[in-house]
Structure 1
Amino acid sequence: MTQPVIGFAGLGVMGEPICRNILTKSGETVHVFDLKPEPVERLVELGAIKAKALSDLAGKVDILFLSLPGGKQLEAVVNGPGGVLETGRDGLLLVDMTTAPVSLTRELAEALSRKNIDYADAPVARTRQAAEDGTLSIMVGGTAEVFDRIRPLLAHAATEITHCGPVGCGQVVKILNNMVLFETVVALSEALELGKAAGVDGELLFNTLSKGSADSFALRNHGMKAMLPDTFPTGAFPTDYALKDVSYAIDLAEMTGIRAQGAELARSRMEKAQAAGYQDAYFPALVRVVDKT
């Protein structure tokens, strides 16, 4: 059986380690492209093949992975000049690992299907370290046939791979995952500031919460590792990105006719953090702008 030729475009914070894991563990030929030369050069040193442009990938490979900052970039890469819709070859399978709006995902998939290009949305969850370690959780939307084709490749980058339903359902699950996380971080920020204002040590508070029903991934990571030491580095998941993702949840709420008030609160806190200059900081920095009466 002929092995698929793989392409990967978008080698940023998550894309580069995902691509590296697929490249080094699969033994497949991987062609790579990014606007920045540094990640391309690092992957070429490991055996990847540098593509001159995205159109080179779309017109050559069998499976093309995308990992982009958001929906705006995804739409440009697919619909723009030299994009996948224009240059993608017959029979191409596009696997989008970007977190993007559900409506856009389904619109792009429909447009590409008219050119005999298959589509799967496969956004990822967990941290940059999980991307490095190959222990991500990936939520896939697409047909069962497409899922079966890409699952062995995704397994090089993830320990959890879930087929969530048809195209767009991977994005639904990812967006709701992030929505719950953001709302939890808002709750933790309020708990921390309330506790300290009432005379309880913050570390004692979070340690005790972790032993009870308030325990969560967000508490043990965003709370204990960022909020308690008051450390919100750039290069992690920034406020601007979190604000983008929570806006997708609100878009989904509008699309389905359900008001997501918790998501609206998370958005307002992130907007306040952004306005206070924390747009590039790790998003739990919103604890610094908790409202005071």
Structure 2
Amino acid sequence: MSDKPVIGFIGVGLMGHGMAKNLLQAGYPLVVKGNRNRAPVDDLVGMGATEATSPKEMAQQCDIIHICLSNSPQVEGVIRGPDGILAGAREGLIVIDASTADPNSTLALAEELAGKGATMVDAPLGRTPKEAEEGTLDVMVGCDPATFDKIRPVIDCWGGNVNHMGPTGNGHKMKLLMNFVSMGYASLYAEATVLGAKAGIAPAQFRDVIGSSRLANGFFDTFMRYTVDRDRDAHKFAVANAAKDLRYVNAMAMEAGMVNVMSSAALQYFAHVEAIGKGQDYVPMISDHVARLCGVDMEEEAKKGR
């Protein structure tokens, strides 16, 4: 019989599968709740996880529950639904929301869980499914210090760069700032690459110069690995999720009462791609859409100078 806490995991998709796998490999008893895609659930069950029929059932069995979903309405559904976590919550339960969510929603859910003696932790993620599988994700944690000390060994199973940001809600606020920067980069890189192509600078040349300068960074590398090398899996993060995050950023800025010219501008390319029905394209593919708007075939431009 394990002396480790029983861990639940809701949302074992691109990011969640690797995180859950690492918890299993660290010896934690794991209970999973799947969605339409059975493959990751079946894979984890094959490694020793058990499957819950509902979030309520999971809350009744588990000491700590992870949620890794796409947006706040989905998180609210698994917590507040008729068979949700609140329906089965008990004293001492800890819910770790690794989604990128609206901080106001997070704070409301935290209050509701506290009414059942449970604790809400926001621990959104940075990096990609590759790092999720490797257990080296960036993590921004919002909770009280005592809870952070209690969950740190669990988070260390799937997180590499773990930062305690302060009280509940601050993790999601920091994650929105991170995604504002990264999606701002995506918009900037796409527009600059297309402008270069229109002006006679091949995308490969643009990458060589920027990539070898002090302006280089990991996000630039993965963005250009698609834009120039056409590696579709270079950064598996959907445009729809990026657009959602930028909307949350704009709402946070409005609530803070500040001018937000850059975050408003960054949203526009992503909103366009959603509007034409391509929201499931990955973020680096923004470069193709910006190119089409400007009469450029990025597939052909990418061949130049490679």
What is the CA distance between 1:230 and its match in structure 2?
4.6
- In the other structure, the counterpart of 1:255 is 255
Alignment of 1:164-203 (within 5 A): 164-203=165-204
Alignment of 1:280-291 (within 5 A): 280-290=280-290
Contact 2:103–2:169 (Cα < 8 Å) also in 1: yes
Q: Which whole-Å CA distance do the structure 2 matches of 1:261 and 1:97 have between them?
A: 28
- Match of 1:89, SS state, is coil
| Moved segments of 4+, more than 3 Å | 229-235
Q: Which whole-Å CA distance do the structure 2 matches of 1:157 and 1:7 have between them?
A: 14
Structure 1: stretches of 5+ with no match in the other structure: none
Q: Which whole-Å CA distance do the structure 1 matches of 2:186 and 2:51 have between them?
A: 40
Q: Which whole-Å CA distance do the structure 1 matches of 2:130 and 2:114 have between them?
A: 35
Q: Which whole-Å CA distance do the structure 2 matches of 1:282 and 1:2 have between them?
A: 41
Alignment of 1:62-141 (within 5 A): 62-141=63-142
- In the other structure, the counterpart of 1:228 is 228
- In the other structure, the counterpart of 1:278 is 278
Greater shift in the superposed pair: 85-94 or 134-143: 85-94
1:148-177: CA deviation from partner (whole Å, max 9, x where unpaired): 111111111121111011001110111110
- In the other structure, the counterpart of 1:61 is 62
- In the other structure, the counterpart of 2:153 is 152
Question: TM-score under structure 1 normalisation?
Answer: 0.94
Contact 1:269–1:286 (Cα < 8 Å) also in 2: yes
Q: Which whole-Å CA distance do the structure 1 matches of 2:202 and 2:69 have between them?
A: 40
Question: TM-score under structure 2 normalisation?
Answer: 0.90
Q: Which whole-Å CA distance do the structure 1 matches of 2:30 and 2:289 have between them?
A: 44
Aligned sequence identity (%): 31
What is the CA distance between 1:184 and its match in structure 2?
0.7
Structure 2: stretches of 5+ with no match in the other structure: 296-306
Contact 1:232–1:281 (Cα < 8 Å) also in 2: no
Q: Which whole-Å CA distance do the structure 2 matches of 1:119 and 1:157 have between them?
A: 19
Alignment of 1:43-58 (within 5 A): 43-58=44-59
* Structure 2 residue 10 is the aligned partner of structure 1 residue 3: no
Q: Which whole-Å CA distance do the structure 2 matches of 1:167 and 1:147 have between them?
A: 10
- In the other structure, the counterpart of 1:238 is 238
Amino acid at match of 2:95: L
- In the other structure, the counterpart of 2:299 is none
| CA gap 1:235/1:203 in 2 versus in 1, 3 angstroms | closer
1:49-81: CA deviation from partner (whole Å, max 9, x where unpaired): 122221111112111111112111001111121
What is the CA distance between 1:234 and its match in structure 2?
11
What is the CA distance between 1:232 and its match in structure 2?
4.4
Contact 1:278–1:285 (Cα < 8 Å) also in 2: no
Contact 2:238–2:280 (Cα < 8 Å) also in 1: yes
Amino acid at match of 1:120: V
| CA gap 1:184/1:237 in 2 versus in 1, 3 angstroms | same
Contact 1:137–1:158 (Cα < 8 Å) also in 2: yes
Amino acid at match of 1:261: V
Q: Which whole-Å CA distance do the structure 1 matches of 2:31 and 2:230 have between them?
A: 41
Q: Which whole-Å CA distance do the structure 2 matches of 1:262 and 1:195 have between them?
A: 21
What is the CA distance between 1:5 and its match in structure 2?
1.5
Contact 2:243–2:271 (Cα < 8 Å) also in 1: yes
What is the CA distance between 1:24 and its match in structure 2?
0.9
- Match of 2:111, SS state, is helix
Q: Which whole-Å CA distance do the structure 2 matches of 1:42 and 1:35 have between them?
A: 13
Contact 2:239–2:274 (Cα < 8 Å) also in 1: yes
Q: Which whole-Å CA distance do the structure 2 matches of 1:108 and 1:53 have between them?
A: 18
Q: Which whole-Å CA distance do the structure 2 matches of 1:154 and 1:288 have between them?
A: 37
Amino acid at match of 1:129: K
Contact 1:273–1:288 (Cα < 8 Å) also in 2: no
Contact 1:141–1:169 (Cα < 8 Å) also in 2: yes
Q: What do you get for the CA RMSD once the two structures are aligned?
A: 1.9
Q: Which whole-Å CA distance do the structure 1 matches of 2:182 and 2:124 have between them?
A: 15
What is the CA distance between 1:235 and its match in structure 2?
9.2
Count of residue pairs brought into register by the alignment: 291
Q: Which whole-Å CA distance do the structure 2 matches of 1:151 and 1:200 have between them?
A: 48
